[in-house]
Amino acid sequence: MQPIQLYLDCPCTSFPRSFARDYKETYRYPPPSTLYGLLLSLVGETDMAAHLGVKLAIGIIGDDPPISRIVRKQRHHKFSKTHMGIYPTSKFSKPNHQELLTDLNVTVQIDSGEEVGTVKLAERVAIALSTPSQITRFGGLSLGESWAMVNGIRPYRETDGPVRWLVKDNRGLISLPIWIDRKTGQGTFQRFDWSDEFQPDCFTKIPALLKAASKPQKSGQAGKTS
């Protein structure tokens, strides 16, 4: 199946950086891991590993989206024997700053040629757009956090405007997560630069899950050699 290219219109969103704490900085561009999650939501897939191996190419239409800074209330829950299940608002809520992106127009190409599954993500996306009655999904379609719903998603048209593509470059100044381990919170990152023309290095592969780490050595065995 040939890669398909989509257009996404998102009026307001945020992609908090992994190191952000009280001041929630945002990545300037949508990470591949976030777009992968959006596509799974579009087709009603709840298994994050269902389409590992798919390749995504991300482009920005128009200028970089402006960044706004807001103050919002955030809760900081404490989990311990004394606080388990007790969250008094006056004690565990405080105002924090957060960055938002507005008027974000994105295009994404989907190449399912190296997916691990038999049913490909590109095929399911094409079905979702042409005959949505054939899929079962729930909730709104968001790019980023749950409140950041998109205005719409459809096939890309040349009239949407020229595209600036993110291209893989180990010396690039743009670093974005391509996979987040939900159990540990650790991420796999890729560096990017810009390209006005599409090229093969614009594709980023959502990596297959790593095999389970080998069992740790027993106490007293460290440093032994055969």
Residues 47-96: tens digit of each pLDDT? 999 999 999 999 999 999 999 998 877 665 555 555 555 555 566 666 78
Q: Which two tokens stand for residue 32?
A: 């591949």
Instruction: Identify which has the larger pLDDT, 200 or 86.
Output: 200
Query: Which CA distances in Å does 54 have to 34, 113, 120, 136?
Result: 14, 7, 8, 21
Phi, psi of 97 (to 5 degrees): -90, 145
Do 135 and 14 touch, CB atoms closer than 8 A?
Answer: no
Q: Rounded CA gap, 149 and 9, in Å?
A: 9
Whether 100 is in a domain gets the answer: yes
Kindly report the CATH number assigned to the domain that includes residue 155. Answer: 3.30.70
> Beta-carbon neighbour count of residue 42 at 10 Å?
20
pLDDT of residue 183: 74
Q: In sequence order, what are the beta bridge partners of 26? A: 16
Name the residue range of residue 19's domain. 4-205
Q: Is residue 127 predicted with pLDDT exceeding 90?
A: yes
Provide the mean pLDDT of the chain.
Answer: 85
Whether 55 is in a domain gets the answer: yes
Q: Structurally, how many domains does the chain consist of?
A: 1
Whether 117 is in a domain gets the answer: yes
Whether 180 is in a domain gets the answer: yes
Whether 218 is in a domain gets the answer: no
Q: Which of 3-17, 59-73, 211-225 has the lowest mean pLDDT?
A: 211-225
Q: Rounded CA gap, 197 and 182, in Å?
A: 34
Whether 219 is in a domain gets the answer: no
- 13: buried, middle or exposed (CB in 10 Å: 19+, 13-18, 0-12)? buried
Q: Is residue 20 predicted with pLDDT exceeding 70?
A: no
Instruction: Determine the residue type at 170.
Output: N
